[in-house]
Amino acid sequence: MYVKIMLIAVSVLVSACTDHKNITPVEHRSIHGYSQKPLYVQKSTQRLKRLNRINEKSVEKITIEQTGKKIKSVKLKHLGRSLFYYVKTRSFDLVIDAKNGKIIKKEKHD
């Protein structure tokens, strides 16, 4: 349920963002393959990490600067042709563009 809500929220954010196509169609196709086996999932994650320009250390630095909190979890995901880091801290949920480090969404929770 939470994943569906996050996907809807990100799709709204992506449609509102003017520069939301931050990877090329060729790069996007390189993420996907034809097999859904566990090895494919691992290779897909490796492909995503090669396409991003902001690494997890940079994401951690951005998160601490913006929230003052340490990261609980960070995930690199893509939606269409956009790459995002989903970051969770103790008090905040962040969506950070993986190409330029720009914060797309910052939401405080209790």
CATH (domain of 59): 3.10.450.40
CB neighbour burial string for 50-68, b if at least 16 within 10 angstroms, e if fewer: ebbebeeeebeebbeeebe
The total of structural domains in the chain comes to 1
What Rg value do the Cα atoms of the chain yield, rounded?
A: 14
- Enter the pTM of the model: 0.63
Which domain, by its residues, includes 37?
A: 2-108
pLDDT of 14-70, one tens digit each? 554 545 567 777 676 666 655 555 555 566 677 777 776 788 899 999 999 999 989
pLDDT of 4-26, one tens digit each? 555 555 555 555 454 556 777 76
Q: Is the dihedral of CA 103, 109, 4, 61 positive or negative?
A: positive
Q: Is the dihedral of CA 26, 32, 34, 35 positive or negative?
A: positive
